[in-house]
Chain A
Amino acid sequence: MSYEDYLAGEPLIVTAALTGGVHGKEANPNLPETPAEIGRAAAEVEDAGASVVHLHARRPNGERTFATERFQEIDDAVRRHAADVVIQHSTGGTGAPDAERHLPLRTDPPPEMASLDMGPLNRYDHLTSENTRGLVDSLHEEMVDRGIKPELEVFNDGHLNEVHGLLERRDLADPVYATLIFGPGTLTPPRPQNLLNAVDNLPDGALFNTLGFGKHQLPFATMGILFGGHVRVGLEDNVYYRRGELAERNAQLVERIARLAEELGREIATPAQARSILDL
């Protein structure tokens, strides 16, 4: 994908990362955590233009869980409120055993998409999300078995090597879909040239999604629009609307992207168009 794809008018897939698993209501009381809250948020972001919702599951007190049953409750709530939106489960998680990382894939029906972290990343001062190749392969194998499209999460440029390595080890269904992530720490430094470099290093024919953490969410989403990619926004990645002002809703962040895309001449993809683009 490239600037030429932007000029060609490829519809823009907006993914809304509604809740995440790192911070919660202690960071922004408007962040949805319960199945009912997530379901309502899904309806709002779908109305605002999101065609994909990226989901984590939480215990009633906001703490993370990988339990299939909790993902099922969330999916049921999302489908009640936003019947058409594409459901994407997270399989990411620091410290969780490999077996638990598979649990989000086992809902009925399975999610249409699930994240697949391409390698390790540091958390705080003493933690690393390992994401070994063995785990990546086993998660991918179960995704193939259950008809789930992997969303390859590329936290830094080394993970671009891992994308190519995964393609050498495994047959990934076309199109390959990678989320390029920018921010502090182990993430790719959030500089515009690094986005262009990452896009340039993707496999031929791959589609990309742009994710900037915190204050980088808006500018990197804008660049994603302009460089023919897709974008992810939401309270998982950024709890602010602007400096010092907490976002009121996930939909507020999606609405802003929809306005930007319209001004820049990029059509927002419907869920049906997203399914066609991603070949779900």
Chain B
Amino acid sequence: MTCPHLEYRDRADDRRFDEARAYCTVADRFVQPLRADICNDRYDLEHDRHCEIFLEHAGDEDRDEENDADDGTEATER
């Protein structure tokens, strides 16, 4: 499965490309060719195992969910 945070764009910031290039919407930057192999899960690469940007973001989401749960518990206890 391709990384859900991957988009192909032909323009970003002040740059424009003839061919749409991999763009990481989490990092807000074009993806280097080697990283695009990870984004697209080419070969034996998997974005959810090998991409530190995805993992970091996933960690944030997990923490957000935990915080939401904590907030809910506290609200109930109050």
Contact = CB atoms under 8 A, between A and B. Distances in A.
Binding between chains A and B: yes
Interface of A: 21-27, 29, 58, 60-64, 94-97, 100, 123-127
Q: Closest 7 A-B residue pairs measured CB to CB?
A: A26-B30, A125-B52, A95-B43, A61-B19, A126-B50, A95-B45, A63-B36
B64 to A, nearest CB: 22
Nearest to B49: A126
B35 to A, nearest CB: 8
Contacts of A23: 32-34
Contacts of A124: 35, 50, 52
Contacts of A127: 38, 45, 50
A240 B17 CA distance: 20
Q: What is the interface residue range for chain B against chain A?
A: 20 to 34
Nearest to A25: B17
Contacts, number: 67
A26 B21 contact: yes
Interface string B23-47: 0000001111111111000111100
B52 A61 contact: no
* A interface secondary structure, majority: loop
Given A61-B8, A95-B42, A95-B43, A123 B34 contact: yes
* B interface secondary structure, majority: mixed
Contacts of A62: 17, 19, 21, 33
B51 interface: yes
B37 A95 contact: yes
A277 B21 CA distance: 41
Contacts of A29: 15
Contacts of B58: none
Contact of A95 (B8, B31, B44): B44
A22 B36 CA distance: 9
A98 to B, nearest CB: 11
A63 B20 CA distance: 11
Contacts of B37: 63-64, 94-95
A55 to B, nearest CB: 14
Given A95-B45, A125-B52, A127-B38, A26 B32 contact: yes
Contacts of B38: 95, 127
28 contacts: A21-B34, A22-B33, A23-B32, A23-B34, A24-B32, A25-B21, A26-B15, A26-B31, A26-B32, A29-B15, A60-B19, A61-B19, A61-B20, A62-B17, A62-B19, A63-B33, A64-B34, A94-B34, A94-B37, A95-B37, A95-B43, A95-B50, A97-B44, A126-B49, A126-B50, A126-B52, A127-B38, A127-B45
Nearest to B20: A61
